[in-house]
A and B are shown apart, each in its own frame.
Chain A
Amino acid sequence: MELVGLLNYWIVIVLMMTGFYIVISHGNLVKKIVGLNVFQVSVFLLYITMGKVHGGTAPILEEGIALYSNPLPHVLILTAIVVGVATTALGLALVVRISDAYGTIEDDEIDAMENND
């Protein structure tokens, strides 16, 4: 039961570590951005989970609704999603420019070229 109750948090940790590992280990610049995305999504899930109240409904003022989820973390994460989209867009735009300038998006090949510059 304990395990099931914490299921979301387990998913958060797995996603977080997966994303972080991709960011660190992959040499492909696009894959790094994907990893970064997975990493950020895990945090979205963390916030959404902490706002959930067991048995609560959507936080709408209505007759007969006493128990509802905490809307604040959900609203916060809307902002964080926007930030995440902006970061992804900017990151990918940089990758396009890097690809134009270097002709590759592999980290080690770029490193080799930079050492020659």
Chain B
Amino acid sequence: MIAHHLPILQIIIPLMSAPICLVLRHARIAWVLSLAVSWICLVISVSLLVKVLDGGAISYELGDWAAPWGIEYHIDTLNAFVLVIVTAVGAVVMLYAKASVEAEVPEERRYLFYTMLMLCLTGLLGITITGDAFNLFVFLEISSLSSYVLISMGRDRRALTAAYRYLILGTVGATFYIIGVGLMYMMTGTLNFADLATLIPSVADTRTIQVALGFLTVGLCLKLALFPLHMWLPNAYVYAPSAVTVFLASTATKVAVYALIRVIFTIFGAVDILDIVQVRNLLMTMAIIAMFFGSIVAIYQMNVKRMLAYSSIAQIGYMILGVSLDTLTGVAAGIIHLFNHAMMKGSLFMALGAVIYQIGSVHLDDMAGLGRKMPLTMAAFVVGGLSLIGVPLTVGFISKWYLIQAVLERGWWPIAIIIITTSLLAVIYVWRVVEIIYFRAPSGAAAVATEAPVSLVVPTWILIGATLYFGIDATTTLDVAIAAARALIGGGS
């Protein structure tokens, strides 16, 4: 009986825990509750994924209202996989949050922090699980509004302006999305993804639908920070509290990529509209520019957190490139990179959070010589960095291997060369950090620094463990990604 209701429990449990945290007004209890809830969510999402892999897609009708009229939660391989990514990162971040938040957020605001984190988790899970276009907008705003608050909790006053700018751009993005949904509703009279997919082909040639696709794409690209719509991302990541950066960097943009995949391959899957209005070529061009731009700008950053933020922009380029290839391997490469990037970027930002905890800065000069003072944290950073580059035995290699394979299948070898070139750029920015933390004598705060507390190191190494494990034995994640891609594009090519 309870198993039948898992899809709604996935949302309801974190949603209800938020007001409870608010009412309790107690930091430690709020943390324990959030930790318990995030692990329950992980268990639910894993069991949903197992169920979907065994028995195909699950459809859950809210309040037993039949699908096109009522809101439907539709879980197939793709969103079950994304649910696991979000909840897994959420669960590990909650382990990490306690020490990090105690250092960075004032006592009286901590319970609010956990309230917002739970709301953000709810929103992200809701975007992923729902099968209804308008419901997706509501969850998008729940996750966005709570993430603005979370970002503004950073210690630096620039966190406030970063949150404000994200609020403006994020709202414009969400409003664009809702305009797109409205235009689709005008032509089809439905909001259900599956229903839209069957009705769109008959009206695909109308200007309204083409404009709708434009609005949806631009709106979602703002949320996922595709170049040149990435302006909000670097400051938001840099000035947010460490735990928030970890959480947002490894989930929020991934969920937006998922939403874009849903729009392109589910709603517009049956039409050739991608060719009509050139969305695919546009996405591919922007993805390639993002790969170059992000990597090159990252090389020049002195703040390591900002460097990783720009690297995220480049990595989002890889995901969108995979998606824009529109082949089975390409989409699978994009999907698997969602998971892989979440693991490695999460662990890298966690390592930096530990550095902030110990020396209060992530400026490159302040981090000199930390390799000897904080060996475990810095070793984690190096492994994560290697994965960003795409060195074999890490998840980064798996992503790039499949991406290059997908590009070559299409015969577009110049793009393969671009992927390798941007990986070499990643070597430069990762090496810069490695050189300074290992081969320079420590000075200032770094000279007296010690290893970070266990509660920060263990979560970091859990994600690094995942980075290595799924880099060595990628059969599980690959099977899921390929199954998801096959379901999206119907086994073609």
Contacts and interface: CB of A to CB of B under 8 A. Distances in A.
A28 to B, nearest CB: 12
Contacts of A79: 134, 138
B84 interface: no
Interface string A82-111: 010011001100110110011000000010
Nearest to A111: B161
A50 B164 contact: no
A87 B168 CA distance: 9
A39 B160 contact: no
B182 A90 contact: no
Contacts of B318: none
Contacts of A86: 141, 145
A81 B164 CA distance: 20
Given A23-B168, A32-B168, A90-B149, A83 B185 contact: no
A98 B145 contact: no
Nearest to B190: A72
B148 to A, nearest CB: 6
Given A76-B134, A87-B145, A94 B172 contact: no
A80 interface: yes
A28 B472 CA distance: 52
A36 interface: yes
Interface in B145-185: 145, 148-149, 152, 156-158, 160-161, 163-164, 167-168, 171-172, 175, 178-179, 182, 185
Nearest to B170: A87
Contacts, number: 70
A114 B145 contact: no
Q: Is the interface of A mostly helix, strand, loop or mixed?
A: helix
B172 A73 contact: no
Interface string B4-45: 000000000000000000000000000000000000000000
Q: Which of B138, B156, B163, B168 has the most CB of A within 10 A?
A: B168
Given A39-B172, A90-B145, A97-B152, A46 B182 contact: yes
B445 interface: no
A73 B141 contact: no
A91 B167 contact: yes
Contacts of B145: 83, 86-87, 90
B171 A87 contact: yes
A77 to B, nearest CB: 9
21 contacts: A32-B168, A36-B168, A36-B171, A36-B172, A46-B179, A47-B182, A73-B182, A80-B137, A80-B178, A83-B138, A87-B141, A87-B145, A87-B171, A90-B145, A90-B149, A94-B164, A97-B160, A98-B161, A110-B161, A114-B158, A117-B156
Interface of A: 20, 23, 29, 32, 36, 39-40, 43, 46-47, 50, 73, 76, 79-80, 83, 86-87, 90-91, 94-95, 97-98, 101-102, 110, 114, 117
Interface of B: 134, 137-138, 141, 145, 148-149, 152, 156-158, 160-161, 163-164, 167-168, 171-172, 175, 178-179, 182, 185-186
Given A50-B186, A87-B167, A98-B160, 9 more contacts: A29-B164, A43-B175, A86-B141, A87-B171, A91-B168, A94-B167, A98-B161, A114-B158, A114-B161
